[in-house]
Amino acid sequence: MNKQKSRNKPRSAHPSDRGPGEKSKGMSLFERYLTVWVFLCIVAGIGLGHLFPEAFQTVGRLEVAQINLPVAVLIWLMIIPMLIKVDLKALKGVAQHWRGVGVTLFVNWGVKPFSMALLGWLFIGQLFRPWLPADQIDAYIAGLILLAAAPCTAMVFVWSHLSRGEPHYTLTQVALNDVIMIFAFAPIVGLLLGLSAITVPWDTLLLSVMLYIVVPLILANILRMAVLRQRDGYARLDRLLKPLQPISLTALLATLVLLFGFQGEQILTQPMVILLLAVPILIQVFFNSGLAYLLNRAVRSPHCVAGPSALIGASNFFELAVATAIALFGFESGAALATVVGVLIEVPVMLLAVGVVNRSRAWYERRTGVPSYEECCPASAHLNAGR
């Protein structure tokens, strides 16, 4: 892509064009230490759940059609600010990096959910079964399936920026995944739960898709378009996102406090559960990111596409997974706990994957026919995107 083409591209919600040599934090202090805050929420949730069990039980009973209303509000506060960043008009550019898009779609929808189901059955259903509560085995596997069934929507902008990814490819890929999720999430989850002999409450699953994907996506795009129609629209959108970003993360942490308020006793009696659940999650992150990276090299995608492609292929939309697990199986279920383990380990593991991608760039570009970084991603085309 030449510089003229790059200038004619629609700009993202975060259009500060940093060159590759300029310093950028990529993630805020709060985001960088998300794992620490999650751990503190675990401790707070367990402690509060032990001290005020009746209060948590009252919150858990506030349901309509098996959807917990306080959690639904918190999930909307999490998801809508993330979706405001996504420009669905970017779908028009899907053919520009068709190799990278094809690889990522294959890994996201053709490999990751099924590989996670296999890993869940192998590790949780077989190898680790003696150390796990027997009545929660199926629920743990279901939580892992939910975690892998939807690709990450927002945090991938951070991973792409940190790996010096091509911003328009990232924006296009995220917009495409959001649209596909509307139609593919429920069928894939239903299929894999059925193959795992887990009862599928289809009405609740479809309601979760409508509530946590379709409605937030529509509302976010209405708000985005309304802001962009005003004078200096992108600057206004950037100012709007700044206060929404900490609200989104705070809502995530509040959900975790509620969840661990219900899960506390089980965790205290069996602390090894979290460690055992982390094993298949870690394996699937490294497997899927490595597969996407190598496939991109095989089809000669430029490194600035292969990097974000590998990271999108590995990361999970854990907010949706947590919400759906609670709706399908309840606060106190092993499914809800399994999805939260994904939150706990995602940031440090994905930062490690970013480091591998960056350090291997010279090796990647030694393949004949792979465009150089300068050809793919001019110095001005960098996202400064956060969650």
Q: pLDDT tens for residues 333-367?
A: 889 888 888 877 877 888 889 889 999 998 998 88
Residue ranges in the chain modelled with pLDDT below 50:
1-25, 380-387
With a CB cutoff of 8 Å and minimum separation 6, the contacts of 110 are none
All structural domains of the chain with their residue ranges: 29-361
Q: Which helix (H) or strand (E) holds 229?
A: none
Which residue type sits at 239? Answer: R
Whole-angstrom distance, CA of residue 155 vs CA of residue 387 = 5
In three-state secondary structure terms, 306 is helix
Q: How big is the chain, counted in residues? A: 387
pLDDT at 38: 76
Determine the straight-line distance between the first and last CA of the chain, rounded to whole angstroms: 27
Q: Which of 236, 259, 247, 223 is nearest to 331 (CA)?
A: 259
Q: Is 279 exposed, middle or buried (0-12, 13-18, 19+ CB in 10 A)?
A: middle
Which residue type sits at 195? Answer: L
- Give the tokens for residue 359: 């350090």
pLDDT at 31: 63
pLDDT at 386: 38
CATH number assigned to the domain covering 29-361: 1.20.1530.20
Q: Which of 4, 1, 2, 28 is nearest to 14 (CA)?
A: 28
For residue 193, the Cα-to-chain-centroid distance in whole angstroms is 20
pLDDT at 6: 42
Contact assessment for residue 279 and residue 120, using Cβ atoms and an 8 Å cutoff: no
pLDDT at 26: 55
Contact assessment for residue 187 and residue 48, using Cβ atoms and an 8 Å cutoff: no
pTM for the complete prediction? 0.76
Average pLDDT, the chain: 80
Whole-angstrom distance, CA of residue 146 vs CA of residue 154 = 17
CA torsion sign, 183 to 385 to 317 to 289? positive
DSSP 151: B
Q: Are strands 67-68 and 63-64 parallel, antiparallel or unpaired?
A: antiparallel
